[in-house]
Amino acid sequence: MATAYHNLSEYSLTSVPNAEQMKFGIVVSEWNDRITGKLLQGAVETLKKHGAKPENILIKAVPGSFELTYGANRMLENCELDAVIVLGCVIKGDTPHFDYVCMGVTQGIAQLNATGDIPVIYGLITTLTMEQAEDRSGGKLGNKGDECAVTAIKMIDLAWSLNK
């Protein structure tokens, strides 16, 4: 697995543009909130570390990961944002529910990116165990929220550089 070879929180600080003028939306799943709360904390702290103003970070919660696409879409339609980050956690159980949720969210976010002008950053952790989720939400493999925040900043910078 790729994350085992790359810490999600390690990146070059100098490679990240200043986020002072950027506006972010974050949609976070309440399901598995022990994990998603840490993802949210990592994302917000990283955005602020790179200059984002607290008033330029809009956070909304949805009940579960499947609802992330709807939440992101509503943010895109109703808020003046430069990027939306979705944060969720799905842990495999004994039924195919895991596959349907993961596939639905992945396709939904891909569709928003393919048809929209504002980047939607995929922050859905999909693991086999709670331990793997903990490792990716501030544990030994870093925090996916950090990675998503850096990705959002870089994608906004890319979009702005192409709109000149």
| Integer Cα distance of 64 and 90 in angstroms | 9
Among residues 6, 18, 70, 97, the one annotated as catalytic is 97
Partners of residue 124 on adjacent β-strands = 88
Decide: 81 and 118 in contact? Cβ < 8 Å: yes
The three-class DSSP label of residue 78 is: helix
| Integer Cα distance of 85 and 26 in angstroms | 5
Task: State the Rg of the chain over Cα.
Answer: 15
Active site residue 97: yes
Catalytic annotation, residues? 97
